[in-house]
Amino acid sequence: MTNSKSEIVKIGLDLGVNYAETWNCYRGKDTPCGVCPSCVERRTAFAALKISDPAAERMRD
Ligand SMILES: [Zn+2]
């Protein structure tokens, strides 16, 4: 199964994107909400790559 979103994340990592500071949350807050479609897609992408999301710490609150 192809996960294009995870491929995009992987390319970003290769380019040195700081994912702790980069996300696209529909709620537009200072931290990822973790529940909107964009956040869920992102979390799924990181899980598919078997790496931890650097912004996950922020999502806990
Ligand atoms: Zn969100």
Q: What is the mean pLDDT of residues 9-26?
A: 93
**Which positions ≥6 away from 49 have C-beta within 8 Å?**
6, 9, 10
Q: How far is the CA of 57 from the centre of ligand 1 (A)?
A: 14
Check residue 60 and give its pLDDT: 63
Check residue 59 and give its pLDDT: 61
Domain assignments of the chain as residue spans, ordered by start: 4-14+23-59
Give the separation between CA 29 and CA 34, rounded to whole angstroms: 11
Q: How far is the CA of 3 from the centre of ligand 1 (A)?
A: 19
User: Looking at the predicted structure, is the pLDDT value of residue 27 above 70?
Assistant: yes
Q: What percent of the chain has pLDDT over 70?
A: 87
Q: How far is the CA of 36 from the centre of ligand 1 (A)?
A: 4
pTM for the structure as a whole: 0.78
Check residue 31 and give its pLDDT: 87
CA atoms within 13 A on the CB side of 45: 22
